Amino acid sequence: MRGYQCLKSIYLTIHNKELEPPVTPDLQFIFDQGNAVGSEARKKYPNGVLVDNPAWDFFGALKKTRKLLKNETEVIFEAAFEYKGCFARADIITYSKETKRWSVFEVKSTTKVKEEHLDDVGLQAWIMANAGLPIEKICVMHLNSDCRYPNLNNLFTEVDVTEELRKRHQSIPPRLTEIFKAVRSESAPDVDIGPHCASPNECPFITHCWVQKNIPEPSVFNLPGIKTKKWDLYAQGIIKLDHPKLSNLTPVQQRVVDVYKSQKRYIDKVEIGKALSTWKFPLVFLDFETINPAIPRYDKTGPYQQVPFQFSAHIWLSPGSELIHKEYLHVSSSDPRPQLIPLLLEACRGEGSIVAYYSAFETQRISEMAEHSQDHKKELEALLNRFVDPLPIFRDFVYDNGFLGSFSLKTVAPTILGEKHSYEGMLVADGSSAQRAYEEIINPETDHSRREQLIEASIEYCKKDTLVMVELVKWLMNETK
């Protein structure tokens, strides 16, 4: 699949493995989640037999598969096939004694069939068919977004892609010829950077290729909301932010360019003052950490539904008062919401504004919790119209070159408030590491000291998010005095 995405990428994967950075914890988390979904799918076939040879044991896996096929084993997991140097392992294949043909099921941990899945399954099916497997149908088995815990009987949806793949069958050999030619060549193919570097997957050689191309930072790639237009600009050689032909930008993008050229921070104090004048004390600075398991595990939740397991709230009663801090971190595998909701309501008691950075995330979670909790529905819904958000204030009225085109809290805070407000070096330093930490905290196999360390780091991280927000808002208020 990497060869389908970019010929240079498959070449580097084989010949310059040292350029490939190690798998990040975030990526490993995605792999683990994919494996968990694969195992869940197998549960539908209790009589399935696993070809348990490791990924590198091509010949052992082929041998075992041949034996199982010969015995007309009804269901095989991870069956291996080879044809002309191409090797594939099928997630699930099932045999029909009537038709004497096989159905192929490829399990995907997404909630829909994606274009790249068709390429992936198409190539596998092409290898299987050419290796001599009589195929009846080919299905992608993906997660069903209508499934709700605890009923996981409909966790998967099967989509028959046989006809679609039949249409693509002829296009596979030329693509493979191209890939084999690339990997057997003397040097890496000369492929320019482009949208393919991030799609369908982020290429691991991005840093290598970007350095080769001398892309400066900041560049047009840092313009907020630039989307695919950046590639049109790149194709025209418009890369630096002071390029004379850089035009037709949105007001926010134009500001990024103007600040880059002037090297002076932009700040519109009048507009900031107007925006802040609608906020009402006491201010509650709120932040959630959430978990969104592929396989639902909490009452009435579906695949990938976000469920808060932690919050931090800094309460600022009046301009002259000290901050009060309230927080909650769920540390068991049970549903966090029954404990979290009353404490959240207690922390948000009053009528002042609730401040959240990118508040759409917090309000969405509160709406979902209101849907779930009939006991607290009204109180939770009453919180919704109290939300205010510093993010649009920064996006529209402040810009500093240090933002590098991003308005995220993690970029804005150290730029405006100084490095002591950076998240660098923290054990839990962003939303994804908070999720991983939570999974480890609730895992009974995690040893006591590691668990304690993660609990402390999680509390520190969430608390920092709201404290940094307080400091940013104080900064905004100071600027407008």
Least distance to ligand SF4, CB of residue 15, Å: 12
Stretch that binds ligand SF4, among 6-14, 47-55, 69-77, 139-147 (CB under 6 A): 6-14
Query: Rounded to an integer, what is the distance from CA 12 to the centroid of its chain?
Result: 25
With vertex at residue 474, the alpha carbon angle to CA 310 and CA 477, rounded to the nearest 5 degrees, is 135
Distance CA 101, CA 135 (A): 5
Stretch that binds ligand SF4, among 54-62, 193-201, 247-255, 273-281 (CB under 6 A): 193-201
Stretch that binds ligand SF4, among 77-85, 150-158, 204-212, 448-456 (CB under 6 A): 204-212
CB count, 10 Å around CB of 274?
A: 13
Closest CA to 413 of 465, 355, 358: 465
Strand positions, DSSP E, 173-319:
266-267, 283-291, 307-316
Closest CA to 311 of 361, 246, 382: 361
Query: Which tokens go with 397?
Result: 């009225």
**Site residues (CB under 6 A) for ligand SF4, limited to 208-227:** 209
Contact residue for ligand SF4 among 6, 75, 391, 412 (CB under 6 A): 6
For the sheet with 283-291, list strands across it: 323-329, 307-316, 283-291, 354-355, 387-388
Burial 99-125 (b: 16+ CB within 10 A, else e): eeebbbbbbbbbbebeebbbbbbbbbb
Least distance to ligand SF4, CB of residue 19, Å: 9
Binding flag, residue 10, ligand SF4 (CB under 6 A)? no
Indicate the DSSP class of residue 154. Answer: T
Least distance to ligand SF4, CB of residue 3, Å: 11
ω into residue 150 within 30 of 0, thus cis?
Answer: yes
Q: Which is nearer to ligand SF4, 15 or 297 (CB)?
A: 15
Q: Which is nearer to ligand SF4, 49 or 191 (CB)?
A: 191
Stretch that binds ligand SF4, among 2-10, 43-51, 105-113, 351-359 (CB under 6 A): 2-10
Closest CA to 50 of 42, 60, 41: 42
Contact residue for ligand SF4 among 102, 205, 328, 423 (CB under 6 A): 205
Least distance to ligand SF4, CB of residue 403, Å: 25
Binding flag, residue 13, ligand SF4 (CB under 6 A)? no
Contact residue for ligand SF4 among 37, 90, 133, 203 (CB under 6 A): 203
Q: Which is nearer to ligand SF4, 196 or 386 (CB)?
A: 196
Q: Which is nearer to ligand SF4, 19 or 317 (CB)?
A: 19
Binding flag, residue 4, ligand SF4 (CB under 6 A)? no
**Total site size for ligand SF4, rule CB under 6 A:** 12
Q: How is 371-430 classified by DSSP, letter by letter? A: HH-GGGHHHHHHHHTTEE-HHHHHHHHEE-GGGTT---HHHHHHHHH-GGG--TT-SS-S
What are the CA-CA distances from residue 445 to residues 323, 394, 442 (Å)?
37, 43, 9
Q: Look at the block and give the residue holding tokens 């070159």.
A: 401
Q: Which is nearer to ligand SF4, 135 or 206 (CB)?
A: 206
Stretch that binds ligand SF4, among 195-203, 268-276, 382-390, 413-421 (CB under 6 A): 195-203
| Half-sphere exposure for 380 (CA within 13 Å, toward CB) | 23
Stretch that binds ligand SF4, among 143-151, 162-170, 190-198, 407-415 (CB under 6 A): 190-198
Binding flag, residue 196, ligand SF4 (CB under 6 A)? yes
| Half-sphere exposure for 250 (CA within 13 Å, toward CB) | 12
Binding flag, residue 182, ligand SF4 (CB under 6 A)? no
3-class state of residue 216 by DSSP: coil
Q: Which is nearer to ligand SF4, 196 or 365 (CB)?
A: 196
Stretch that binds ligand SF4, among 111-119, 202-210, 242-250, 433-441 (CB under 6 A): 202-210
Contact residue for ligand SF4 among 86, 206, 295, 331 (CB under 6 A): 206
Contact residue for ligand SF4 among 141, 165, 197, 275 (CB under 6 A): 197
**By Cβ distance, which residue is nearest to ligand SF4?**
203
163 phi/psi in degrees, rounded to 5: -65, -40
With vertex at residue 450, the alpha carbon angle to CA 447 and CA 452, rounded to the nearest 5 degrees, is 105
Binding flag, residue 193, ligand SF4 (CB under 6 A)? yes
Least distance to ligand SF4, CB of residue 453, Å: 36
Least distance to ligand SF4, CB of residue 1, Å: 12
Stretch that binds ligand SF4, among 8-16, 321-329, 343-351, 467-475 (CB under 6 A): 8-16
Query: Rounded to an integer, what is the distance from CA 343 to the centroid of its chain?
Result: 29
What are the CA-CA distances from residue 291 to residues 165, 225, 440 (Å)?
35, 27, 12
Q: 470 and 63 in contact (C-beta within 8 Å)?
A: no
Tell me the residue type at 149: Y
Least distance to ligand SF4, CB of residue 32, Å: 24
Least distance to ligand SF4, CB of residue 56, Å: 24
Least distance to ligand SF4, CB of residue 148, Å: 39
Binding flag, residue 8, ligand SF4 (CB under 6 A)? yes
Contact set with ligand SF4 (CB under 6 A): 6, 8-9, 12, 191, 193, 196-197, 203, 205-206, 209
